[in-house]
Amino acid sequence: MQSSYNSIDTIVAIATPSGTGGVGVVRVSGRDLTRFCVGILGSEIASRKATYTHFRAADGECLDMGIALYFPGPASFTGESVLELQGHGGIVVLDRLVQRCIQLGARHARPGEFTERAFLHGKIDLTQAEAVADLIESSSVQAARSALRSMQGDFAQVVNTIIKKLIDTRVYVEAAIDFPEEEVDFLAEPVLIQWLDELARSIDQVTADARQGVLLRDGLSVVLAGKPNVGKSSLLNRLLGEERAIVTDEAGTTRDVLKHRIVFEGVPIQFIDTAGLRDTDSAIEREGIRRAWLEIDTADHILLIADASEASRPHLNEAWPEYFMQYPEKTHRVSQVFNKIDCSDDAPGLQRDGSTVCVSAKYSLGIQELLSFLVAQAGYIERGEGIFSARRRHLLALADARGYVQAGRAQLDRYGSGELLAEDLRMAQKKLEEIGGAVTSDDLLGHIFSSFCIGK
Ligand SMILES: Nc1nc2c(ncn2[C@@H]2O[C@H](COP(=O)(O)OP(=O)(O)O)[C@@H](O)[C@H]2O)c(=O)[nH]1
Ligand SMILES: [Mg+2]
């Protein structure tokens, strides 16, 4: 059990959103809640049955009337005893109930503390705990579905299956090392290489699925960049489906960075409109351009917009290739968009080179194609089934595990070394176990749960 965790504390929080509502729920979790039942409800109540009752102050004053639910531990969400008071959803009413619980010895719950306790009591693993927050925060039906799948343990199960395979392989390798006097060289058996390849393949598969989940959760950021007047702001408005940015035929209109989000096929996309890149004497515009470069530096994808109707259609602007050469890893994030094709003879949509998209912001041509292109570029494959919500930390752990399996296989291949392979497999297992939280640091747990809302 974690050192930061004190199972004797009873915690309380309002579980419903702050503000007023038809119903408000106060949730209490702790080892023994008899005192709370007697103190507030007047007596103990039947387990897991809705009881309509008074909620009372110390002097017997009625604070509210509502439904009380009692879940004796460990058969509860947190694994402790849980008392839920469902009263009227008023700020003062609910606060008074919380104060009453504090009077009886509870303390305010930290964000995510109920879920953290569920994790610490082994009710759920870390992927499921994270999925609880992801479900609450999901911004599309697809994201909600995938979070629900992770919450039900689908992701954990896939990872655990790989861990099991990994353990079997380790047992085999360790036995081969421990009994070198056996006649057969077990390390040279083809079945071992076969297992290692299967492990690598399974990790690749779950990584591909997890990457979809990360996209649904985190989405991507896309910068609209280019010279003044090529139609960046017009395109932003068209992509958003509403007039957010000021459009004029005057060069240098946009100075501030504008950020707006849409959800396309379940993937949240944040579009960032920027000042046109050019040399200018205006100090305000120069600041806008400086900020534009900052966005270009950090975005997931950059759309370099050019005017299709210009006589000498610039391919990548003169300064840009040089700029991106400094960051070779970034060039794959850049795509060319030709706007104003109503004034040229280009066909709308993705061009044959696979990285240029032609649009007309003014006449709404090629816009859907541009959006599809962006999510496809990010690696999103829309499919109804099989995606589970995941986070970047899962992808990192999977990549590390994959690296160790790969390295171990190379050691075996090159040097026939069982010892080095065994060590790599041990590390791979450790990385995979980090995903479910079997090995974690207090830092990581604190980081994960502090991003939850209070009362969850
Ligand atoms: N013909 C045509 N004009 C456009 C199109 N998109 C933008 N414009 C015009 O180009 C000018 C500059 O547009 P704006 O969006 O402010 O460009 P920005 O400086 O790159 O943000 C405005 O007069 C727009 O009406 C388009 O697709 N076709
Ligand atoms: Mg503009």
- Our measurement of the distance from residue 79's CA atom to the centroid of its chain's CA atoms, rounded to an integer in Å, reads 26
Q: Whose CA is nearest to atom 1 of ligand 1?
A: 340
Q: Whose CA is nearest to atom 9 of ligand 1?
A: 231
Q: How far is the CA of 365 from the centre of ligand 1 (A)?
A: 14
Q: Which of 112, 171, 142, 99 is nearest to 388 (CA)?
A: 142
| pLDDT value, residue 25 | 98
| Residue 253 Cβ < 6 Å to ligand 1 | yes
Residue 331 pLDDT class (50, 70, 90 cuts)? low
- Our measurement of the distance from residue 325's CA atom to the centroid of its chain's CA atoms, rounded to an integer in Å, reads 31
Which strands make up the sheet holding 220-226, listed edge to edge? 258-264, 267-273, 220-226, 301-307, 334-339, 356-358, 349-350
Q: How far is the CA of 433 from the centre of ligand 1 (A)?
A: 53
Residue 179 pLDDT class (50, 70, 90 cuts)? confident
| Residue 232 Cβ < 6 Å to ligand 1 | yes
Least confident residue range of 112-116, 232-236, 348-352, 437-441 = 437-441
Q: Which atom of ligand 1 has the smallest separation from the CA of 230?
A: 20
Q: Which amino acid is at 160?
A: N
Q: Are 88 and 112 in contact (CB under 8 A)?
A: no
Report whether pLDDT(172) > 60.
yes
Q: Which CATH superfamily is domain 11-124 in?
A: Probable tRNA modification gtpase trme; domain 1 (3.30.1360.120)
Q: How far is the CA of 221 from the centre of ligand 1 (A)?
A: 22
Tokens 């917009």, residue located: 305
Q: How far is the CA of 357 from the centre of ligand 2 (A)?
A: 19
Length of the chain: 456
Report whether pLDDT(5) > 50.
no
- Please give the helix or strand (H or E) that residue 442 lies within, else none: helix 442-450
| pLDDT value, residue 274 | 93
342-364 pLDDT, tens digit per residue, is 999 899 999 988 889 999 999 99
**Cα distance between residue 284 and residue 256, in whole Å:** 9
Orientation angle between helical segments 232-240 and 367-377, nearest 10 degrees: 90
| pLDDT value, residue 254 | 87
**Cα distance between residue 427 and residue 367, in whole Å:** 47
Tokens 């009886």, residue located: 104
Tokens 């009372």, residue located: 56
Long-range contact set of residues 275-282: C-beta below 8 Å, sequence gap at least 24: 275/228, 276/226, 276/227, 276/228, 276/229, 276/230, 276/232, 276/251, 276/252, 277/225, 277/226, 277/227, 277/228, 277/317, 277/319, 278/227, 278/228, 278/251, 278/252, 280/252, 282/252
Q: Are 224 and 235 in contact (CB under 8 A)?
A: yes
Q: How is domain 136-215+388-437 classified at the architecture level of CATH?
A: Up-down Bundle (1.20)
- Please give the helix or strand (H or E) that residue 128 lies within, else none: helix 126-137
Instruction: Report the phi/psi class of residue 82: left, alpha or beta, with left for phi > 0 and alpha for psi in -120 to 50.
Output: beta
Q: Are 418 and 187 in contact (CB under 8 A)?
A: yes
Tokens 């989940």, residue located: 213
Residue extents of the structural domains in the chain: 11-124, 136-215+388-437, 220-377
Pocket test for ligand 1, best of 233, 237, 246, 247 (most atoms within 8 A of CB): 247
| Residue 39 Cβ < 6 Å to ligand 1 | no
94-105 pLDDT, tens digit per residue, is 999 999 999 999
CA dihedral 369, 372, 374, 377 (to 10 degrees): -120
| Residue 361 Cβ < 6 Å to ligand 1 | yes
Q: How far is the CA of 234 from the centre of ligand 1 (A)?
A: 6
| Residue 336 Cβ < 6 Å to ligand 1 | no
| Residue 123 Cβ < 6 Å to ligand 1 | no
- Our measurement of the distance from residue 213's CA atom to the centroid of its chain's CA atoms, rounded to an integer in Å, reads 7
Pocket test for ligand 1, best of 230, 234, 342 (most atoms within 8 A of CB): 234
Residue 384 pLDDT class (50, 70, 90 cuts)? low
Q: What percent of the chain has pLDDT over 90?
A: 70
Pairing state between β 267-273 and 258-264: antiparallel
Both tokens assigned to 137: 């925060």
Q: Whose CA is nearest to atom 11 of ligand 1?
A: 249
| pLDDT value, residue 324 | 62
Dihedral sign from CA coordinates of 6, 11, 15, 20? negative
- Our measurement of the distance from residue 226's CA atom to the centroid of its chain's CA atoms, rounded to an integer in Å, reads 30
Q: Which ligand is nearest to the CA of 249?
A: 1
Report whether pLDDT(134) > 70.
yes
Q: Is CATH 3.40.50.300 correct for 220-377?
A: yes
DSSP letter at 77 equals S
| pLDDT value, residue 329 | 62
Q: Which ligand is nearest to the CA of 255?
A: 2
Report whether pLDDT(227) > 50.
yes
